[in-house]
Amino acid sequence: MESILMIEDLQLAIHDENVRAGWWSDPVTGEELRGDRRFATAGWKMLLIHSEISEACEGLRKDLMDDKLPHRPMVEVELADAIIRILDLAGALNLDVSGAIEEKRKFNASRLDHKIENRNAVGGKKA
């Protein structure tokens, strides 16, 4: 599937860029992070993903334009930042995010609570 290849390629490219920029190595020694330090860094990266989503919410709520890319809405740029961080983390942890996305989309298509008639029913999922 085309979408899988595009996401895989993007994940590899983003993670490679961030490794070259030193985001996955010790800033003093330059050595690759391993063990507990790599795990702690991965946890920190998840918090940064959360902060990007929070910034996107704020941009949407206030209808702001981005400060670094002023021709784009802040929500758009912050969501892009979140995706970049997610794909970097997935690359660092050697995760098959593209495969999981495709499987999850297929699973969601079969879920009764994802059908509009069930969502509109009393007690159905609204969002």
What is the Cα–Cα distance from 89 to 91, expressed in whole angstroms? 5
Report pLDDT for 66: 98
Whole-number Cα distances in Å, 19 to 24, 27, 88:
5, 12, 9
**Neighbour count for residue 105 (Cβ, 10 Å):** 10
What is the Cα–Cα distance from 110 to 21, expressed in whole angstroms? 42
Indicate yes or no: pTM above 0.75: yes
Q: Output the six-digit token pair for 115.
A: 């059908």
The band of 122, judged by pLDDT with boundaries at 50, 70 and 90, is: confident
The band of 127, judged by pLDDT with boundaries at 50, 70 and 90, is: low
pLDDT digits (tens, 9 = 90+) for 67-89: 999 999 999 999 999 999 999 99
Mean pLDDT of 2-18: 87
What is the Cα–Cα distance from 78 to 53, expressed in whole angstroms? 7
Which range, 29-38, 40-49, 55-64, 103-112, has the best average confidence (pLDDT)? 55-64
